[in-house]
């Protein structure tokens, strides 16, 4: 045919094949280089071959031979759907040979759903590391050991005390609200929302657990029951053949299981949650998932028949396990009253305390820290302080503070809290608290809630593990039953006293007393004879004083 016009595009490579390695999920592409251009002339040479992944060029193979067998191996950066294109070129790029989009990596549904902004993930029973579906029958009408809840109205919410403290999205709860419309909520709520929406969303209750949020009618048909399994340390709420409002032929059987964090431990202390669905008739108009107290963070497993690619969709004999973060946020908070127990007279007064924020991570940490007050009626006053801070690795922030309480504040027990997290998102990474009592009310005395600082130091640098002052480290484990270890470190010889006090300020144990050389020490407290509750470990070394809160859970 004569000389080949070099500016005419080569035809597409032939027999393009894609093979995915099932072990490392690398992609092996093979093809034959073109032998002619689009004008039908034979190619005597090719400048190269370009390879594209999702329209992004990932390789340029130079000096390739027309008609030759060629091969290229790619390792995609993420498990995702990918499409490849291969084109030879001279002065002009040739026609593409291409593959159809394929998922590269384990099946999408085999991956966890999440994590959300707090760190919770959801594992399905079909996932490689997921839970096994194992229905726990508690309904007494089916031979179970549970107690029936008496739903007598449509859109009704009932309230139950939990048999253990349950930490959820960083907050502790001892009560749960159970709605006939297929959801529960940590804490107390009067919400009865039947109209399901997306998660997270300000619609519905705060701190929601939604195994089947739909307009259900347990007052018409079916039953709802609860049971605490003291052997396995979990708390179960079961909906058995509860009828939907519409269609009236749809009956749903499912359950939510809370794992006692004191026995099913996690890195953060947050609880594990299991949803199980035994027999589902019509999930097409329901919501499934969890969300935090602020209703700003959560995991949605399904909404109105639509499911994320990481799930297989709602079905019978199916389970999902929600797991909290695998590691703590790298800053801890400690809030220690100076002279517990604190009792404020009716005319008002003040109390002193110490805030200690400690960086335990390897990188700088930026966070919000705020202090608020839970009033005797459960409402929240504050925050009295809300700051954004950054702590470098191995540093801590310590501040002595004073809080005034006005005379017109109501009588009763208050909870004083320090929280670190993301205030706007309502994320709580760590929290410490103590209680105080106000004896009465004196309107005439006036006053205001004021929190002020007695120290100007913002940040105290130093290696957190090698403090420049004596230090009493956090007890481990805590909560505990019945023993916990307390360690302390002295940089110089000092007279030491380490004692434990109950909530009334009475000494219940003396763990150390006397002259100690510099060094690291550990003492164990056996509280087998003590009642469950809050205790304080008080550490004195010379002029230094520090208090740690202990929680005995039996």
CATH number at residue 541: 2.60.40.1930
- Are both 130 and 263 inside the same structural domain? yes
Residue 226: the pLDDT is: 99
Give domain status of residue 145, yes or no. yes
Give domain status of residue 6, yes or no. no
CA nearest to 522, candidates 530, 514, 511: 511
Residue 310: the pLDDT is: 84
- Are both 209 and 292 inside the same structural domain? yes
- Are both 187 and 212 inside the same structural domain? yes
Tell me the sheet residues that pair with 80: 104
Q: What is the CATH number of the domain that holds 383?
A: 2.60.40.3880
Rounded Cα distance, 365 and 4, in Å: 64
Q: What is the CATH number of the domain that holds 38?
A: 2.60.40.10
Burial class (CB in 10 A: 0-12, 13-18, 19+), 6: middle
Q: Which of 323, 353, 368 is the last residue of a domain?
A: 323
* Total domains in the fold of the chain: 4
Residue 44 phi, psi dihedral angles, 5° rounding: -90, -20
Give domain status of residue 460, yes or no. no
Overall pTM > 0.85 = no
- Are both 87 and 128 inside the same structural domain? no
Show the CA angle centred on residue 50, arms to residues 101 and 80, nearest 5°.
25
Rounded Cα distance, 218 and 151, in Å: 6
- Are both 165 and 298 inside the same structural domain? yes
Which tens digits make up the pLDDT trace of 260-284?
999 999 988 999 999 999 999 999 9
Q: Which of 323, 356, 389 is the last residue of a domain?
A: 323
- Are both 305 and 449 inside the same structural domain? no
- Are both 337 and 314 inside the same structural domain? no
Which tens digits make up the pLDDT trace of 287-320?
999 999 999 999 999 999 999 888 989 999 999 9
Give domain status of residue 8, yes or no. no
- Are both 71 and 151 inside the same structural domain? no
Q: Which of 453, 479, 514 is the last residue of a domain?
A: 453
Q: Pairing mode, if any, of strands 273-279 and 251-259?
A: antiparallel
Q: Please give the structure tokens belonging to residue 334.
A: 């400690």
Residue 93: the pLDDT is: 86
- Are both 505 and 362 inside the same structural domain? no
Rounded Cα distance, 269 and 31, in Å: 54
Give domain status of residue 476, yes or no. yes
Give domain status of residue 461, yes or no. no
- Are both 84 and 205 inside the same structural domain? no
- Are both 480 and 416 inside the same structural domain? no
- Are both 405 and 284 inside the same structural domain? no
Can you give the residue range of the structural domain that contains 342? Answer: 331-453
Give domain status of residue 317, yes or no. yes
Rounded Cα distance, 109 and 126, in Å: 8
Residue 159: the pLDDT is: 98
Give domain status of residue 462, yes or no. no
Residue 464: the pLDDT is: 38
Q: Which residues of the chain have pLDDT under 70?
A: 1-7, 107-110, 454-469
């Amino acid at each position: 045919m004569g000389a080949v016009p070099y500016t005419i595009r080569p035809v597409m490579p032939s027999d393009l094949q894609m093979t995915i390695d099932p072990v490392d999920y690398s992609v092996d592409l093979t093809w034959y280089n073109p032998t002619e251009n689009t004008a039908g002339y034979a190619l005597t040479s090719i400048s190269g071959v370009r390879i594209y992944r999702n329209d992004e060029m990932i390789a340029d193979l130079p000096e390739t031979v027309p008609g030759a067998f060629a091969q290229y191996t790619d390792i995609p950066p993420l498990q995702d759907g990918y499409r490849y294109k291969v084109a030879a070129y001279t002065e002009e790029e040739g026609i593409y040979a291409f593959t159809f989009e394929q998922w590269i990596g384990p099946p999408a549904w085999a991956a966890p759903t999440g994590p959300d902004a707090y760190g919770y993930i959801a594992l399905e029973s079909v996932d490689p590391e997921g839970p096994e579906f194992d229905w726990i029958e508690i309904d007494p009408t089916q031979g179970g050991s549970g107690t029936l809840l008496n739903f007598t109205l449509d859109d009704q919410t009932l309230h139950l005390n939990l048999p253990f403290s349950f930490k959820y999205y960083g907050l502790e709860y001892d009560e749960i609200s159970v709605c006939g419309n297929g959801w529960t909520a940590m804490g107390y709520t009067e919400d009865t929302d039947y109209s399901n929406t997306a998660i997270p969303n300000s619609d519905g209750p705060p701190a929601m657990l939604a195994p089947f949020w739909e307009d259900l009618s347990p007052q018409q048909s079916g039953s709802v029951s609860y049971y605490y399994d003291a052997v396995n340390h979990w708390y179960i709420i079961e909906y058995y053949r509860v009828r939907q409002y519409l269609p009236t032929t749809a009956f749903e059987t499912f359950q939510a299981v809370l794992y006692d964090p004191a026995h099913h431990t996690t890195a953060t202390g947050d609880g594990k949650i299991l949803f199980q669905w035994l027999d589902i008739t019509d999930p097409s108009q329901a919501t499934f998932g969890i969300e935090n107290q602020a209703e700003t963070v959560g995991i949605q497993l399904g909404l109105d028949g639509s499911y994320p690619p990481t799930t297989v969709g709602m079905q019978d004999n199916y389970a999902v396990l929600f797991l909290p973060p695998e590691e703590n946020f790298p800053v801890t908070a400690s809030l220690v009253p100076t002279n517990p127990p604190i009792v404020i007279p009716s005319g008002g007064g003040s109390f002193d305390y110490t805030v200690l924020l400690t960086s335990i991570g390897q990188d700088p940490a930026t966070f919000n820290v705020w202090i608020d007050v839970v009033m005797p009626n459960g409402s929240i006053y504050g925050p009295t302080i809300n700051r954004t801070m950054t702590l470098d690795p191995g540093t801590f922030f310590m501040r002595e503070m004073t809080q005034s309480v006005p005379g017109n504040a109501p009588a009763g027990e208050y909870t004083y809290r320090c929280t670190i997290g993301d205030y706007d998102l309502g994320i709580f990474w760590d929290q410490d608290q103590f209680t105080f009592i106000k004896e009465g009310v004196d309107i005439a005395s006036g006053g205001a809630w004021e929190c002020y600082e007695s120290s100007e130091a913002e940040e105290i640098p130093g290696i957190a593990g090698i403090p420049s002052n004596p230090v009493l480290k956090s007890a481990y484990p805590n909560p505990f039953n019945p023993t916990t270890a307390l360690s302390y470190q002295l940089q110089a010889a000092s007279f030491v006293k380490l004692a434990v006090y109950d909530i009334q300020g009475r000494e219940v144990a003396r763990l150390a007393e006397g002259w100690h050389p510099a060094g690291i020490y550990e003492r164990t407290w056996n509280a087998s004879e003590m009642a469950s509750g809050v205790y304080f470990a008080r550490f004195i070394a010379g002029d230094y004083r520090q208090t740690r809160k202990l929680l005995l859970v039996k």
